[in-house]
Structure 1
């Protein structure tokens, strides 16, 4: 058994963890609409506003860049001032993002639109931490379920976000999607109110000091754990491949003569597939282990790439996006559960922040590359890269596992 698992379970309260997980799931449903609206519309708005077709997905990429840039500050603020402060600052940025994007559409100003999606990404970096917050007071057995419950809130985001786009896209006829961004800003305010209902534990550093717990280890020591290395690789691969394919899909669908509504509905099915399995993913991890669930997720991601490569009909796009969503859920929830098992309470904020920094950094690189891939080489290259990335991930995981066994083997 690991050192982490044998430490005193101070502050563990599954009843509180269940309550917080439910409230955070509602907040996730509202905050997730920000991400859904951006991914469903930003590529299309980019096509209208960008000076070059190859720059159409840059607004989505700046969103991911904001997601990446916000991870370490969110971790620092949560550690220093508590999770509530970090999360409420995030909702303020979500409100600002909606206003900036709407203004950019009205004035047809591409740089301002990119600034708005960057602010939306900063908001995303805060609400991505909701899954970790749910695990703060959970026992080792309940932790995967707490994470899954919060991500299950994304099911409502998967319905609410695209429907928000469809319902508002024509409210300002000369400024397509502007009303949707204004509506998204209002939703961020509602999410801020919901977060006030969560009973957060005190900041990790202060709690560790009062309880006399072990001091936090240096990051290089923590990240030498093979389990944590594998968790980071799996989280990175699952999010990077999902984002690469999802970013390009709406633009590719419209380019293949499918309607904006078809693209929005395809995204809706994708986001629902990302989060609906969360109702059972925690139980699957408890029964079969994180490694098997992650392996299933990577296999489904590869299947998504294969379906996307096979054709460009509406059915091909939708089936590929659904498989991609389920694959992401299994791999990402499994990776998150592994991360929470590799640190002490005093270390959680910085370890989680660094993990997300790696994950969303890879997303940012993939997102910037997707626009150029799509504009210059088309949809087939996007899905071929996804297939290649999954194979490379499996090979890398095998190498890490082998190295870990060699390290653990007693000297002959």
Structure 2
């Protein structure tokens, strides 16, 4: 897991620097060379992935276990999917808008690139010890810490439009994503049995990444129409929803969940 996460740290350094060094290669059309270089990197990644052979799900994994609808109604799964989706949605929502807001505030593209670099490092760097935190404190507390950090990132952004405000916002946002998303992913593991993992995790990924795409598409239009402060204020609404889902899960005793599972079995 740490080796995989290290790839994210490397991407946090290489990606923004790739933008910095290529964005002005074709002066009449800024960023055109950057998109071409991104396509080259994607093609190289695709060649590497050709060598990856993943095992196909067994018949038991496809059809075995409890009904998917029953699992999805569990408070634990609802909390896990909600918190994972909110964390990823807000990370993408604010990260997409932040560099544009920096440009609108008169800051240089290089400053935005540096902010994104530290944001991505903050996203993946803590992964080397996040698992230990989950083991010690529990996934729900780590998720709550991630949501708090995400809220703090929006609060810092509301404090001003200096470069330092944007950078701190992006760093806190990255940390919040790491704790929130990895903690929520750990909660999903508590919701299914081994033979159910393919269906349950596929449903969770569909929810998380579907909502993330909505956040990514909506952030630019919201920023252009209403400004950076409104984007930040809007981000608090999903956070309230995520905290409510966590509270609902905490209010249900494990014995209640086990009784429901036994009934379904």
What TM-score results when the alignment is normalised by the length of structure 1? 0.58
Alignment equivalent of 2:22, drawn from 168, 176, 192: 168
Aligned length: 259
**Higher relative contact order, chain-length normalized (CA < 8 Å, sep 6+):** 2
1:249 equivalent in alignment to 2:102: no
**Contact 1:294–1:335 (8 Å) recurs in 2:** yes
Could you tell me which runs of 5 or more consecutive residues in structure 1 were left unpaired when the two chains were aligned.
Answer: 1-145
**Contact 2:22–2:31 (8 Å) recurs in 1:** yes
1:390 equivalent in alignment to 2:239: yes
**CA 215–395 in structure 1, closer or farther in 2 if over 3 Å, else same:** closer
1:231-250 aligned at under 5 Å gives the runs 231-250=80-99
Give the Cα–Cα distance (whole angstroms) in 1 for the partners of residues 82 and 56 of structure 2: 28
Alignment equivalent of 1:279, drawn from 124, 128, 150: 128
Give the Cα–Cα distance (whole angstroms) in 2 for the partners of residues 408 and 186 of structure 1: 49
Give the Cα–Cα distance (whole angstroms) in 2 for the partners of residues 363 and 199 of structure 1: 28
Summarize deviations over 1:331-389 as a string: whole Å, max 9, x none: 10111122233234443333222112111222233233322321222111111122332
**Aligned-pair CA distance for 1:198:** 4.7
**Contact 2:151–2:236 (8 Å) recurs in 1:** yes
Alignment equivalent of 1:334, drawn from 138, 161, 183: 183
Alignment equivalent of 1:378, drawn from 207, 227, 232: 227
Alignment equivalent of 1:351, drawn from 184, 187, 200: 200
Alignment equivalent of 2:58, drawn from 195, 205, 215: 205
Q: Partner residue of 1:300?
A: 149
Give the Cα–Cα distance (whole angstroms) in 2 for the partners of residues 328 and 163 of structure 1: 22
**Contact 1:306–1:387 (8 Å) recurs in 2:** no
1:401 equivalent in alignment to 2:255: no
Give the Cα–Cα distance (whole angstroms) in 1 for the partners of residues 76 and 158 of structure 2: 33
Give the Cα–Cα distance (whole angstroms) in 1 for the partners of residues 177 and 192 of structure 2: 23
Q: Partner residue of 1:269?
A: 118
Give the Cα–Cα distance (whole angstroms) in 2 for the partners of residues 372 and 168 of structure 1: 26
Give the Cα–Cα distance (whole angstroms) in 1 for the partners of residues 249 and 193 of structure 2: 23
Give the Cα–Cα distance (whole angstroms) in 2 for the partners of residues 290 and 321 of structure 1: 23
**Contact 2:126–2:175 (8 Å) recurs in 1:** yes
**Aligned-pair CA distance for 1:188:** 2.0
**CA 361–193 in structure 1, closer or farther in 2 if over 3 Å, else same:** closer
Give the Cα–Cα distance (whole angstroms) in 1 for the partners of residues 82 and 70 of structure 2: 17
**CA 284–400 in structure 1, closer or farther in 2 if over 3 Å, else same:** closer
**Contact 2:143–2:179 (8 Å) recurs in 1:** yes
**Contact 1:152–1:277 (8 Å) recurs in 2:** no
**CA 276–354 in structure 1, closer or farther in 2 if over 3 Å, else same:** same
Could you tell me which runs of 5 or more consecutive residues in structure 2 were left unpaired when the two chains were aligned.
Answer: 260-265
Give the Cα–Cα distance (whole angstroms) in 1 for the partners of residues 142 and 223 of structure 2: 31
**Aligned-pair CA distance for 1:258:** 0.3
Q: Partner residue of 2:5?
A: 151
**CA 204–345 in structure 1, closer or farther in 2 if over 3 Å, else same:** farther
Summarize deviations over 1:305-348 as a string: whole Å, max 9, x none: 11000100000000010000001100101111222332344433
**Contact 1:226–1:404 (8 Å) recurs in 2:** no
1:115-194 aligned at under 5 Å gives the runs 146=1, 149-194=3-48
